Amino acid sequence: MTAPTEAGGRPRRVLEIAIAVCFGFVFLLFGPSLNSLFYAAGVTMGGLMVVRYVSVLAGVMVSRPAGPSAPAPHEEPAYRQYLFGPAVRDLRAALIAAVIRYRRDVERIWGGIGPAADRGLTGLAVAIGLSTLLIVGVVVGVAVLAGVMLVHVAVVGALLGVGMAAVYALRAGEAGLAWIRGIRVACPSCYRRVSVPVYDCPHCGAAHRRALPGRYGVAHRVCRCGARIPVLAGRRRLAGRCPYCEMPMVRAAGTAPEVVVPVFGAPAAGKTRLLATLVLGLTTRPGLGVELDPDTAGRYERIRPALLLGEPTRATLAELPRAYSMYLRAGRAPRRLVHFFDAAGERYGRSDRLGELSYLRLSRSFVFVLDVLSIGGVWAGLAEADRERLAPYRAALAPEFVFAQLTTNVQGMGVPLGRARLAVAVSKVDLVPGAVAGLPPAGDQIGAWLEGPAGQGNLVRAMRLHFGQVRFFLTSSLVGPAGLGPGASMLVDWVLEQRGGGEPR
């Protein structure tokens, strides 16, 4: 009769021979005594269990590992990090396989001893002796198997513990660093505060909505397509989208403190033009590193010709406008991302729509554009012909009304205006040069003029009452060959005084 064989054709007697050799070797090693028989049985079965577990583990983890399960539809489109799921699966598979193999081994050995009992008294005595040894061996084997399993559990548990500690430490470190550097990320389209942008896989386009250290990876994650996506600082090199409105974020958002400067005023007060003027002033300023966001650069290039030729710019659409965003680096100061929000003036006519401008919550610097033509005293002082000529350029709403709307809403949002600063840009002064004759391009004299001859005392007092700091500027709607006018240039200086983190210097 031939011995049964395993799949590979090896005789199955290998197990019995190995056990017999090991038993004999250990017995001889421990010396000829009754105790040595029990030691040999225990060591042999214990050793068998170690070898069995290692071979089972090799099968589960090295030679025939289970393939990765595809990410579930409700989960991120990435494979779980090994320690945060598959490791426990492997552990379970190895434990079950080891127990099954152990049971089979014991049954086989028992099957070899049983027939000896049928061969007379001598056989029965041998069978009883071997059974006793087997019982001792099985008990030791179970203990060894439990110990080996415990080692596996401990190794996986320790690595999991280290992994979790790393995840929380990295997350806390990133949040702490952002807090110290005053980095808060705002979406330039919907103006909400974004903690983590959505990153699309550069390979397959799958949207990774929480690309942070976590169960999908500590330093990087593997996308369902197999591509590696960084989840630490390297993720900011990828193009991000806003998780709320899905619009693109500014490139490399989160790498620099962000400064949000809303420019508000009545419709047709000249906000768009003032913004374009500010961008022009910043990009042409010597010694200042300016990096326009591609979207901002595109829009600025469309407005620039009208700005240089002194033609009217298109009225901003009433839907939420995308911010003008740019990175600024001035001297040794840290790089900042400045968002100028060009809020359509139509919003200020209705409180319910103003509430949509949630970015106001992030702002500590505000620019109020005050159309000089909308000042009753100035308008009344113009000749009839001038009034007819300038009527199309005049802002529709009274500045006091617009300002009251803003302060009511912003205070309702919980913004501490007492810690914020306000720049009042009196616009279109080139259209009525006589009205502002003798005034400097910036300074409190402009405030005094507004309070006195211009008849805006209530407005100026309200500004000083609400805001911690108020500065006044005269800005022109024209850009001369020499560049910006002095008032606009000083307004650019005022913007540059703002450091990151939302707090004025």
Partner 1 sequence: MRPFDPYRNWRQVVFALVVAVVGVVFLVVLAAVWSAAHTG
How close are the terminal C-alpha atoms of the chain, in Å? 95
Q: Does residue 147 bind partner 1 (CB under 8 A)?
A: yes
Q: Does residue 148 bind partner 1 (CB under 8 A)?
A: yes
Among 21, 28, 58, 165, binds partner 1 (CB under 8 A): 58
Least separation, in Å, of the C-beta of 81 and partner 1?
8
Binding mask 218-247 for partner 1 (x = CB under 8 A): ----x---x---------------------
Residue closer to partner 1 by CB (options 54, 333) is 54
Sole residue written with tokens 């805001």: 467
Q: Does residue 343 bind partner 1 (CB under 8 A)?
A: no
Least separation, in Å, of the C-beta of 17 and partner 1?
21
Nearest-5° Cα angle at 8, 4 to 13: 40
Q: Does residue 151 bind partner 1 (CB under 8 A)?
A: yes
What does DSSP say about strands 258-265 and 288-292: parallel, antiparallel, or unpaired? unpaired
Q: Does residue 67 bind partner 1 (CB under 8 A)?
A: yes
Sole residue written with tokens 């014991």: 106
Q: Does residue 84 bind partner 1 (CB under 8 A)?
A: no
Alpha carbon distances (Å) from 427 to 368, 372, 412: 10, 6, 28
Q: Does residue 142 bind partner 1 (CB under 8 A)?
A: no
Query: Do 224 and 206 touch, CB atoms closer than 8 A?
Result: yes
Interface with partner 1 by CB under 8 A: which range of 86-94, 105-113, 370-378, 467-475? 86-94
Q: Does residue 155 bind partner 1 (CB under 8 A)?
A: yes
In 225-334, alpha helices (H): 271-283, 294-309
Least separation, in Å, of the C-beta of 10 and partner 1?
23
Q: Does residue 22 bind partner 1 (CB under 8 A)?
A: no
Query: Do 261 and 363 touch, CB atoms closer than 8 A?
Result: yes
Q: Does residue 166 bind partner 1 (CB under 8 A)?
A: no
Least separation, in Å, of the C-beta of 28 and partner 1?
13
What does DSSP say about strands 220-223 and 228-230: parallel, antiparallel, or unpaired? antiparallel
Query: Do 332 and 253 touch, CB atoms closer than 8 A?
Result: no
Residue closer to partner 1 by CB (options 89, 192) is 89
Task: Name the DSSP letter for residue 289.
Answer: E
Q: Does residue 2 bind partner 1 (CB under 8 A)?
A: no
Q: Does residue 157 bind partner 1 (CB under 8 A)?
A: no
Least separation, in Å, of the C-beta of 162 and partner 1?
12
Task: Name the DSSP letter for residue 293.
Answer: -
Query: Do 245 and 239 touch, CB atoms closer than 8 A?
Result: no
Interface with partner 1 by CB under 8 A: which range of 58-66, 191-199, 420-428, 486-494? 58-66
Q: Does residue 43 bind partner 1 (CB under 8 A)?
A: yes
Among candidate residues 487, 503, 355, 493, the one with its CA nearest the CA of residue 425: 487
Q: Does residue 393 bind partner 1 (CB under 8 A)?
A: no
> One-letter amino acid identity for 435?
A
Residue closer to partner 1 by CB (options 38, 393) is 38
Question: Considering CB under 8 A, how many residues would be counted as binding partner 1?
Answer: 35
Q: Does residue 68 bind partner 1 (CB under 8 A)?
A: yes
In 217-350, alpha helices (H): 271-283, 294-309
Query: Do 398 and 370 touch, CB atoms closer than 8 A?
Result: no
Interface with partner 1 by CB under 8 A: which range of 127-135, 154-162, 203-211, 490-498? 154-162
How far, in Å, CA of 322 to CA of 299, rounded?
Answer: 10
Least separation, in Å, of the C-beta of 156 and partner 1?
6
Token pair belonging to 163: 């992994």
Nearest-5° Cα angle at 264, 261 to 266: 170
Interface with partner 1 by CB under 8 A: which range of 153-161, 196-204, 433-441, 497-505? 153-161
Residue-by-residue DSSP string for 90-145:
HHHHHHHHHHHHHHHHHHHHHHHHGGGGGSHHHHHHHHHHHHHHHHHHHHHHHHHH
> One-letter amino acid identity for 205?
G
Q: Does residue 39 bind partner 1 (CB under 8 A)?
A: yes
Q: Does residue 35 bind partner 1 (CB under 8 A)?
A: yes
Sign of the four-CA dihedral 203, 206, 208, 209: positive
Q: Does residue 93 bind partner 1 (CB under 8 A)?
A: no
Q: Which of residues 244-283 bind partner 1 (CB under 8 A)?
A: none
Among 83, 454, 491, 492, binds partner 1 (CB under 8 A): 83
Least separation, in Å, of the C-beta of 226 and partner 1?
6
Q: Does residue 313 bind partner 1 (CB under 8 A)?
A: no
Query: Do 473 and 494 touch, CB atoms closer than 8 A?
Result: yes
Residue closer to partner 1 by CB (options 138, 256) is 138
How far, in Å, CA of 474 to CA of 490, rounded?
Answer: 9
Q: Does residue 90 bind partner 1 (CB under 8 A)?
A: yes
Q: Does residue 76 bind partner 1 (CB under 8 A)?
A: no
Q: Which of residues 193-222 bind partner 1 (CB under 8 A)?
A: 222
Side-by-side strand order, sheet with 228-230? 78-79, 220-223, 228-230
Residue closer to partner 1 by CB (options 50, 117) is 50
Residues 6+ away with beta carbon under 8 Å from 284: 483, 484
Q: Contact residues for partner 1 (CB under 8 A)?
A: 30, 35-36, 39, 42-43, 46-47, 50, 53-54, 57-58, 61-62, 65, 67-68, 79, 82-83, 86-87, 90, 144, 147-148, 151-152, 154-156, 159, 222, 226
